[in-house]
């Protein structure tokens, strides 16, 4: 399976993240699954004229390839010219290259939230970059390729959203495709692979005991739940960060800071400071999406009143100050 | 005179185009174009001050933590908070881990594959180098990717994830680790050391770091079969110590309380860093023209139809001087003997820039081991920081590629102005209003170019380890 990769209005972080794939080295993992890069801007040998020739051959159909992976938002500005990103050496807007190549690809993957939805590039007030995603403009279908776009393989754009995307999300989606294809049943309502997006960041969170008892952190480096005060959206964000984990066992929550829901469209403009939980009458407004608010509040009151001292004290410390009791065997 | 446009440049971070004026097979003048505009300074304006910590790492996926550290430092400057010692150590560890991972990725995946090109097929080192370093398929890559991924596991323990963490706060680090994590971090660092000693250097880190002159370096490298000595063999065969010289003024903001800040003047003296001397010139950028402005008063307004413009990159200058930044600059400013000797003999060069990254790998890993052991479990990692409603802050750090500065001003809790001067903005600067070319533009003059030319330009461009996405933040 041949993969062609392009980068545009983004930070390159999804590629940097991808190189952390484990346990096997990325190149070995892909090669043995029958996946190869036709060209990748950060990895391939070809530069300059050689690279342009190769891309031209892919765009006019003389060099067949299977998957177009795009990393970074599509920049239409200024004033629709695409000059905020002309592909070096070609003088043509990158958006034009992507449109040509998407017509030849059997599958099109948006790598990262910029590419899926527009991300930070689209977050400037008034969007002067005229940035959008491949098939979404924020949470509205459309984007560069349009709502009706379907690649030759039968699917719209596959949105491997995340900022950055976890290496496993990309590698596993490519391998699933190479193994037995992808269908609409493998994707959620906004095109994200269910292999990572059918979970919530909340699942497997190491702070779940604090969440159960609503024992909240008050400041950074506290051990408690980050939802009530520090802006955490782990109960709303679709991703398996706390099950799969990052960099050998980490996640945002395990790192001591809030989930900012970076796999969701519009995460970059939440309407409140990222690290503060917006509240109305002391109650966080961003409650779990599938739980009636009254129940949540009732449960919160009950669980707060039942919080063990260990959980209450540790929630506001940066290391456990009360250990779980050791039960002596009964005689 | 002929005009050649080179691009895209693979294996640099982001997009890069270079226009060359060529006469008789030689570069007469070079213009460096960063063809992508990102607009992060506008994205930041109007947001809550602490939101900078979320936004700025997304400028760059390879210098992500350096961007976070600069923002945390700028916010720390704004509210004058002191970090606890553990927080300081944790920050040093993650910044160094990112910088060293970058040096490793750079050497094996971005820089060395050019020596596998068929242009060098008649060189006696080519077959071995091509087998080891060919892009994607070279025999070195699997072990390199494992070593890199394992080093970056420091982030799993100290900062949640890499890239794009929120662990670096003005008052320290959000993740208070205990002795179990210290043990794991030391084990990871020992693993990284083992890779460097067995594969990259073929010697103990301390032995390599002690080399004090070019003569000692060459004697050390002779006959050694590991990866960096392979580069030295090719580099001296191609005389790359005489290639790629720019202006030979060097800038360092200082790093991890290990490398001091300063400015190395062309005449060989180190000046104290005076940030007031930094200004940015927009004459040749597609940005609204005006006199050079200090970053604290900087502006970034698009003017896409400007006649003299050829890039989205501004031209930073230091008291009017053109400065180069990066690992070589850090070491020259710090007085590291081998770096100073290489520069004294040849000026900055492809070889010197690459050697400097190796010196950093060899000299920083042992210090990281000391930082990890110095962490005191149970003591604080983060102090609460109350940001004032109004004020100004400056955050200066060293990314892998050199000096990175953030200048912010806050009014009524909102970011009023945010200006970023990134390492590659210095190195890949365009001409300024006086028409003086930036470091890479100078380094390319005189090189062979056009049909049949060897890939020397590729080596010189990548010797700076450019990060274009930072450049055009």
CATH number, domain of A218, equals 4.10.480.10
| One domain for residues A234 and A176 | no
Six token digits for residue B462? 């990548």
- What ranges do the domains of chain B cover? 2-471
A254 → closest Cβ in B13, B116, B160: B160
In angstroms, the separation between the Cα of residue B9 and the nearest Cα of chain A is 5
Q: Which chain B residues in 108-167 lie under 8 Å from chain A, judged by CB atoms?
A: 109-110, 113, 116-117, 134-137, 141-146, 148-150, 152-167
What pLDDT shows up at residue B378?
96
H or E stretch including B148? helix B141-151
The answer to the question of residue A330 being in a domain is no
Q: Between β-strands B250-252 and B324-325, what pairing exists: parallel, antiparallel or unpaired?
A: parallel
Name every chain A residue with its beta carbon within 8 A of the beta carbon of B54: 260, 274-275
Interface A:B, Cβ pairs < 8 A = 265
| One domain for residues A210 and A317 | yes
Kindly state whether B445 is in contact with chain A, defined as any CB-CB distance less than 8 angstroms. Answer: no
Domain B2-471 carries which CATH code? Answer: 1.10.645.10
What pLDDT shows up at residue A290?
79
A257 → closest Cβ in B153, B155, B167: B167
The answer to the question of residue A328 being in a domain is no
| One domain for residues A56 and A154 | yes
Q: Please identify every stretch of chain A with a pLDDT value under 50, giving residue numbers as ranges.
A: none
- At B194-241, the pLDDT tens digits run 999 999 999 999 999 999 999 999 999 999 999 999 999 999 999 999
CB-neighbour burial class of residue B271 (10 A; exposed 0-12, middle 13-18, buried 19+) = middle
Contact state of B384 with A7 under an 8 Å Cβ cutoff: no
CB A180 within 8 A of CB A215: no
What pLDDT shows up at residue A192?
98
In angstroms, the separation between the Cα of residue B233 and the nearest Cα of chain A is 21
B interface test, pick of A318, A319, A322 with most B CB neighbours within 10 Å: A318
Among A294-308, B31-45, B332-346, which range has the highest average pLDDT?
B332-346
- At B87-123, the pLDDT tens digits run 999 999 999 999 999 999 999 999 999 999 999 999 9
Read off the CATH number of the domain in which A121 is found.
Answer: 3.40.50.700
| One domain for residues A78 and A186 | yes
Domain count for chain A, please give it.
Answer: 2
Kindly state whether A97 is in contact with chain B, defined as any CB-CB distance less than 8 angstroms. Answer: no
Query: What is the pLDDT confidence band of residue B413, given thresholds at 50, 70 and 90?
Result: very high
| One domain for residues A112 and A220 | no
The answer to the question of residue A57 being in a domain is yes
Phi first, then psi: what are they for A131, rounded to 5°? -90, 150
Q: Which chain A residues in 60-89 lie under 8 Å from chain B, judged by CB atoms?
A: 75, 78, 81, 83-89
A121 → closest Cβ in B38, B160, B173: B38
| Domain-terminating residue out of A197, A212, A232 | A197
The answer to the question of residue A327 being in a domain is no
Phi first, then psi: what are they for B58, rounded to 5°? -75, 0
Can you give the residue range of the structural domain that contains A206?
200-321
CB B441 within 8 A of CB B32: yes
CA angle B35, B39, B40 (to 5 degrees): 130
What lies within 8 Å, CB to CB, of B45 at 6+ separation is B415, B416, B417, B418
What pLDDT shows up at residue A331?
65
What pLDDT shows up at residue A286?
72
Q: pTM of this prediction?
A: 0.97
| One domain for residues A23 and A118 | yes
Name every chain B residue with its beta carbon within 8 A of the beta carbon of A26: 145
In angstroms, the separation between the Cα of residue B166 and the nearest Cα of chain A is 6
| One domain for residues A161 and A49 | yes
- At B145-159, the pLDDT tens digits run 999 999 999 999 999
Q: H helices within A163-316, ranges in order? A: 167-180, 194-197, 208-212, 241-244, 293-305, 309-315
Kindly state whether A169 is in contact with chain B, defined as any CB-CB distance less than 8 angstroms. Answer: no
| Domain-terminating residue out of A176, A197, A218 | A197
| One domain for residues A139 and A38 | yes
| One domain for residues A167 and A29 | yes
| One domain for residues A73 and A146 | yes
The answer to the question of residue A329 being in a domain is no
| One domain for residues A154 and A215 | no
Q: How many CB atoms lie within 10 A of CB A139?
A: 12
CB B260 within 8 A of CB B252: yes
| Domain-terminating residue out of A139, A162, A197 | A197
| One domain for residues A47 and A59 | yes
Six token digits for residue A141? 């279908």
In angstroms, the separation between the Cα of residue A152 and the nearest Cα of chain B is 28
In angstroms, the separation between the Cα of residue A13 and the nearest Cα of chain B is 3
Six token digits for residue B330? 């850090």
What pLDDT shows up at residue B470?
80
State the number of CA atoms in the 13 A half-sphere of B441 facing the CB.
Answer: 24
The answer to the question of residue A219 being in a domain is yes
- At B7-28, the pLDDT tens digits run 999 898 888 999 999 999 999 9
């Amino acid at each position: 399976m041949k993969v062609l990769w392009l980068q545009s209005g983004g930070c390159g972080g999804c590629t940097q993240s991808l190189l952390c794939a484990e346990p096997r080295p990325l190149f070995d993992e892909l090669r043995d699954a029958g996946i190869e890069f036709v060209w990748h801007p950060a990895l391939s040998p070809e530069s300059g004229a050689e690279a342009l020739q190769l891309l031209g051959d892919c765009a006019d159909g003389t060099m067949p390839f299977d998957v177009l992976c795009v990393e970074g938002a599509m920049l239409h500005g200024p004033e629709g010219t695409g000059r905020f990103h002309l592909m070096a050496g070609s003088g043509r807007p990158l958006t034009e290259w992507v449109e040509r190549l998407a017509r030849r690809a059997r599958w099109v993957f948006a790598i990262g939230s910029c590419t899926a939805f527009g991300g930070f590039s689209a977050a400037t007030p008034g969007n002067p970059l005229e940035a959008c995603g491949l098939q979404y403009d924020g949470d509205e279908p459309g984007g560069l390729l349009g709502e009706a776009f379907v690649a030759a393989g039968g699917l719209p754009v596959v949105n491997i959203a995340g900022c950055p995307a976890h290496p496993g999300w990309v590698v596993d989606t490519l391998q699933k495709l190479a193994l037995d294809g992808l269908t609409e049943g493998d994707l959620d309502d906004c095109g994200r692979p269910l292999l990572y997006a059918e979970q919530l960041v909340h699942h497997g969170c190491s702070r779940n005991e604090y969440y159960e008892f609503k024992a909240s952190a008050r400041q950074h480096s506290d051990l408690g739940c980050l939802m009530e005060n520090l802006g955490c959206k782990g109960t709303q964000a679709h991703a398996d960060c706390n099950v799969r984990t990052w960099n050998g066992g980490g996640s945002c929550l395990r790192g001591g800071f809030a989930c900012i829901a970076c796999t969701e469209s519009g995460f970059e403009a939440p309407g409140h400071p990222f690290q503060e939980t917006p509240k109305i009458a002391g109650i966080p407004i961003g409650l779990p999406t599938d739980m009636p608010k009254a129940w949540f509040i009732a449960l919160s009151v009950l669980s707060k009143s039942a919080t063990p001292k260990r959980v209450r004290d540790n929630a506001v410390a940066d290391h456990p100050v009360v250990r779980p009791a050791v039960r002596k065997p009964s005689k | 005179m002929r005009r050649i446009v080179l691009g895209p440049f693979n294996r640099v971070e982001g997009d890069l185009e270079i226009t060359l004026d060529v006469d008789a097979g030689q570069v007469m003048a070079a213009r460096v174009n960063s063809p992508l505009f990102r607009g992060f300074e506008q994205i930041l304006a109007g947001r809550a001050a602490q939101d900078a910590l979320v936004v700025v790492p997304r400028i760059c996926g390879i210098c992500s933590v350096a961007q976070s550290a600069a923002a945390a430092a700028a916010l720390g400057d704004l509210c004058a908070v002191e970090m606890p010692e553990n927080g300081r150590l944790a920050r040093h560890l993650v910044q160094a881990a990112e910088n060293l991972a970058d040096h490793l990725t750079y050497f094996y995946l971005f820089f060395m594959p050019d020596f596998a090109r068929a242009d060098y097929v008649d060189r006696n080192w080519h077959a071995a180098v091509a087998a080891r370093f060919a892009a994607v398929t070279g025999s070195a890559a699997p072990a390199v990717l494992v070593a890199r991924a394992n080093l970056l596991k420091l982030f799993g323990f100290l900062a949640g994830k890499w890239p794009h963490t929120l662990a670096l706060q003005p008052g320290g680090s959000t993740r208070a680790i205990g002795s179990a994590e210290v043990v794991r971090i030391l084990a990871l660092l020992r693993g990284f050391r083992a890779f460097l000693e067995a594969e990259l250097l073929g010697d103990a880190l301390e032995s390599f770091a002690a080399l004090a002159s070019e003569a000692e370096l060459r004697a050390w490298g002779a006959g050694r079969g590991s990866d960096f000595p392979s580069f030295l063999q090719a580099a001296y065969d191609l005389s790359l110590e005489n290639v790629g010289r720019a202006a030979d003024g060097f800038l360092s903001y200082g790093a991890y309380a290990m490398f001091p800040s300063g400015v190395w003047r062309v005449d060989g003296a180190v000046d104290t860093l005076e940030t007031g001397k930094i200004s940015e010139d927009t004459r040749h950028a597609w940005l609204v023209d005006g006199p050079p402005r200090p970053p604290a008063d900087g502006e970034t307004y698009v003017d896409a139809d400007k006649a003299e413009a050829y890039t989205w990159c501004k031209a930073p200058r230091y008291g009017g001087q053109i400065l180069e930044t990066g690992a070589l600059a850090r070491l020259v400013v710090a007085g590291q003997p081998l770096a100073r000797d290489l520069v004294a003999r040849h000026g900055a060069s492809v070889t010197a820039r690459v050697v400097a990254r190796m010196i950093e790998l060899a000299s920083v890993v042992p210090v990281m081991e000391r930082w990890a052991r110095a962490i005191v479990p149970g003591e604080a990692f983060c102090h609460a920081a109350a940001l004032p409603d109004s004020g100004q802050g400056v955050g200066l750090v060293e990314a892998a590629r050199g000096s990175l500065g953030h200048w912010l001003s806050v009014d009524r809790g909102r970011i009023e102005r945010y200006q970023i001067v990134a390492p590659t903005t210095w190195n890949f600067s365009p001409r300024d209003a006086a028409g003086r070319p930036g470091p890479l533009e100078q380094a390319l003059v005189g090189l062979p170019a056009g049909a049949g030319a060897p890939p020397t330009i590729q080596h010189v461009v990548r010797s700076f380890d450019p990060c274009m996405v930072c450049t055009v933040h």
